[in-house]
Structure 1
Amino acid sequence: MLLLVLLKLALLAALLFGLLLLWLELRHRLRPASPLRLAASPFAVEPLSGGGLQVSGEITISNPHRRMEVFVPELELRPTLLGRGDLAGVSLRTGVTALHPDEEERPDGYWAAYIVKGRKATRARLTVEIRGEPGVDLQALLDTLWLEVLWVNYGPFGRLRARDGILIPLRRPEPQQPATASWREGERCRVLPVRTHLLGTLDDPEQVLRHYAGGVLEPGDVLTIGETPLAVMQGRYHHPKTVRPSALARLLCRVFHPTSSLATACGMQSLIDLVGPARVLCAWLAGTALKLVGSKGWFYRLAGEQARLIDDVTGTTPPYDQTIVLGPDRPEAFCEAMAQALGVGVAVVDVNDLGRVKVLAASRGCDEELLQRALRPNPAGNANERTPLVLVRPA
């Protein structure tokens, strides 16, 4: 009789837990969300008459939903300059010109509320004028423009504020050449950190690899790229202001080490948005239970690879230090495609100053033991070296 009662209680508990997971998933999937997506085309950087620079480009706001119509009542720009010195003598002026397919351009630059209908899109031209006071050498001083688009989505889901950051390089380093390459001697290998400009969504990964490292590649080489630079080129980052932490995220984040990227409500919610609340909760319960018996690390195994790869605020190079950066998308497919395009091995890695080397993905035939030896000293660095690519050549 007692066994039967215990069995009934266990079944009841399992049913209640299943209903809890179902409720969490339904609440998560039905949360307010807008279908609108913003994408940027390449920006041009041109000199202005009388001195200064003009940065201009276009964005496209698309609505993939079949029936939903979404308003965009507000859109404004927030530019931030990154430079090599004091920028007090530099001024900025922004402009937005709506390029709606069914309305004429407004010469006054006012953004009138616009409806993006289902399966439709609209465009806008963005401009930023950069001028310096007399005596200011903009070419030597400026480095990068971080242009944030602050816009509102208004529809059946309510009123949501969106925030997209576009990184526009204002100067670029020269690509590596055999005659000037500064190789470092490693353990039965040679290592070459490859400097690039600060990377962003306007960059094509293949073009970046080919442009900066193509001149020094030889058969047998392995070209590695950091997981964070690849992720930002794929657009896998967002501002914490666009994250709405759930009660589950606020609860679970408190049990993680303060240095973990999952120790904040927005960091934890970013993981929940990727894999779902049910998986995160089950991973946490199972991980906690196994940790009590001496087996650690199970939360990250059960929650998925992204649980280890999320970088919360301050975890990356400015200006991405203000954002939450996710892990790269489909790194295995990326490595195979780049290896075929470049004719050398390609790997996506995560390396830190503590000698930890994790190879997230590598093309077929890559020697992982070679990468461990070569990257253990962290030749790319963890500061602002801007060497996201490291070329490894066997001795």
Structure 2
Amino acid sequence: MIVAGLIAGTLGILGAAAVGLEIGYRQRLGNKLELSAGKWRIEEYELDHYRIVGDLEFINQTPRLDIMIPQVHAEVTLLSAGSLAGVRTESTIIPRYENADPREDNYWESYIVEPRKPAAIEVPIDITGSDLSEISAAWIQMHFYTYGRGGRIPRVKHIVVPLKFPSVESSKRWRPVQDADLLPIKTHLLTPLDNPAEIVQRYVSPHAQPGDIVTIGESPVAIMQGRFRHPSNIQPGWLAKRLCYSFYTTSSLATACGLQTLIDQVGAWRVFFAFLGSIPFKLLPRDLAKSMNVDGMFYRLAGYQANLIDDVTGTIPPYDKFIVMGPQNPRALCEQIKQETGLEAAVVDVNDLRRVKILASSSGVDEDFLATALITNPAGNGNEQTPVVLIRPTETAVAPLPETVAKTTV
């Protein structure tokens, strides 16, 4: 009896210690080191030579732990409308942190980043070839390893730098629709280096007049906010791996990484209970569920971000390799655009199925009118690269909202 009690007590202590270690481990940040997208500039822009330079920072986000960077290199993928035969790229990583001693051979000397401190680097990239005019962007993958309490972990920071910029005059074809004229606006390939208000100022303002409304697609806004993730940086958990089988194959939540993206935003418990809560409504015939307005109940319970995630292949290159989330604070963004440009603004999600979702708009927008004007999807769903549409009302009366239009304001 005494021996059994001692064994039970010892096992209890060991179990409590193990639980304590696990809880402590999960609360620690480990190798919490991030690389910023930085600021990029074009230093040379000749027909046969582009030189772009980025100023980036490694940031140790832990309060007390040193994190080492044993290896860094850049991989450059060019996007072009023409052949890339004969085009070469060369990249260099130059340390710019305190007491750095850059090497001529481009060898990266392992470096310790102290807690809460940044470590700056400079990344010059040279692109050479006989004719570079068809190159639209450089997709830069910054590969690096973190070494510390969490082990040796490979990481990748994805940066897209635009290299081709359409003229304002390239957007001149107005399209008449009911009660409005529409002008799809062509832009350069948008990236997190861009600001939505500045894009409107640059490409839209030269065409605009008082009373016009500018709309921006939700995915381009999310991209400018840096809200996209490469699947290699996503670790699907137990719930995502099992629950993704419950969605139609056309859903962006039908893959483990797509669903994990939602879980990371709203939490596992909300996703799990949204799934449970939607089961009774899934048992109803589809026509009956639509007539009762209870179809798509999971997406309602999980939150509006569940409807906005675009999985791999859902956007234009190079973002077709990423999972793009919905934008953050779209209403505040619309008001910012209005304040800085004087134009009423809206963030929208429109497709070729004659469905219009208005995520948010500035205070002076009639959303019924807007949804009717966008029903034909003037921005397109392909590679038109016209993420912005300028709408000019031609009638004071607003037509009734078609039944195929869905409005969502968040």
Give the TM-score category using the shorter length.
Answer: 0.7 to 0.9
The secondary structure found in structure 2 opposite 1:248 is helix
Q: Deviations over 1:328-349 (max 9, x none)?
A: 1111111111111111211000
1:121-149 CA-to-partner distances (Å, cap 9, x unmatched) read 011111221111xxx3222x222111111
| Structure 2 CA distance for aligned equivalents of residues 72 and 242 of structure 1 | 18
Partner of 2:149: 156
* Structure-2 separation of matches of 1:28 and 1:292: 42
Distance 1:389 1:332 in 2: 16
Helix, strand or coil: the match of 2:249? coil
How far apart are residue 245 of structure 1 and its match? Answer: 0.7
Residue number in structure 1 paired with 2:322: 323
Q: Which residue of 1 aligns with 2:353?
A: 354
- Counterpart for residue 264 of structure 1: 255
Residue of structure 1 in register with 2:369 after alignment: 370
Identity between Structure 1 and Structure 2 (%): 43
Q: Conserved in 1, the CA contact under 8 Å of 2:60 and 2:116?
A: yes
Aligned to 1:73: 70
Match of 1:337 in 2: 336
Q: Is 2:131 aligned against 1:137?
A: yes
Change (3 A) 1:240 1:316: same
Matched, 1:225 2:216: yes
Alignment counterpart, residue 173 of structure 2, candidates 166, 179, 182 = 182
**Alignment partner, residue 202 of structure 2:** 211
Deviation at 1:95, TM superposition (A): 1.1
Q: Whole-Å Cα distance in 2 between the matches of residues 291 and 30 of structure 1?
A: 38
Question: In the alignment, what sits opposite 1:21?
Answer: none
Moved more, 268-277 or 160-169: 160-169
Q: Can you list the C-alpha shifts for 1:336-377, whole angstroms capped at 9, x where unaligned?
A: 111111112110000111111100010112111111111111
Question: Cα gap change, 1:298/1:292 in structure 2, threshold over 3 Å: closer, same or farther?
Answer: same
1:117 aligns with 2:109: no
Q: CA deviation at 1:33?
A: 6.1
Count of residues paired in the alignment:
364
1:28, 1:276 within 8 Å by CA — same for their partners in 2?
no
The match for 2:381 is 382
Query: 2: distance between equivalents of 1:270 and 1:160?
Result: 20
- Sort the Cα spacing of 1:28 and 1:367 in 2 relative to 1 into closer, same or farther, 3 A: farther
Distance 1:158 1:330 in 2: 36
Instruction: Name the SS of the counterpart of 1:73 in structure 2.
Output: strand
CA–CA distance in 1 between the matches of 2:277 and 2:25? 21
Letter in 2 for 1:88: A
Give the distance between the partners of 2:181 and 2:193, measured in 1 at CA: 31
Structure 2 counterpart of 1:279, one-letter code: R
Q: Which residue of 2 aligns with 1:282?
A: 273
User: Which residue of structure 2 aligns with residue 9 of structure 1?
Assistant: none
Measure, in 1, the Cα distance between the counterparts of 2:358 and 2:244: 27
Note the residue ranges of structure 2 that are not aligned, 5 or more in a row. 1-22, 395-410
1:94 offset after TM fit, Å?
1.4
Q: Scaled by the length of structure 2, what TM-score is found?
A: 0.84
How far the C-alpha of 1:27 sits from its partner, in A, is 11
Residues 48 and 131 in structure 2, CA contact (< 8 A), matched pair in contact too: no
The answer to whether the 8 Å contact 1:176/1:216 transfers is no
Any idea what SS the aligned residue of 2:354 has?
Answer: coil
How many Å separate the matches in 2 of 1:348 and 1:85? 32
Q: CA deviation at 1:65?
A: 2.7
AA of the residue aligned to 1:201: P
Letter in 2 for 1:107: E
User: Structure 2 CA distance, aligned partners of 1:290 and 1:32?
Assistant: 40
Distance 1:73 1:129, change over 3 A: same
Structure 1 residue 312 corresponds to structure 2 residue 311: yes
Distance 1:49 1:300, change over 3 A: closer
**Which TM-score applies when normalising by structure 1?**
0.87
Give the match's secondary structure for 1:219: coil
Residue 164 (structure 1) shift: 1.6
Distance 1:50 1:189, change over 3 A: closer
Aligned to 1:106: 103
Give the 3-state SS of the residue equivalent to 1:102 in structure 2: coil
> What is the match of residue 92 of structure 1?
89
Question: Equivalent residue for 1:168?
Answer: 161
Q: Which residue of 1 aligns with 2:402?
A: none
Select 2:50's aligned residue among 29, 38, 53. 53
Q: Within 1, Cα distance between the matches of 2:112 and 2:91? A: 23
What is the distance in 1 between the residues matched to 2:309 and 2:80? 27
Contact in 2 for aligned 1:55/1:127 (Cα 8 Å): yes
Q: Distance in 2 between matches of 1:68 and 1:186?
A: 60
**Pair 1:291–1:222, CA change in 2 (3 A):** same
Counterpart AA for 1:234: Q
Distance 1:83 1:192, change over 3 A: same
When the two chains are superposed, the root-mean-square deviation of aligned CA atoms in Å is 2.1
Task: Confirm whether residue 237 of structure 1 aligns to residue 220 of structure 2.
Answer: no
Structure 1 CA distance for aligned equivalents of residues 202 and 30 of structure 2: 39
- 3-state SS in 1 of match to 2:306: helix
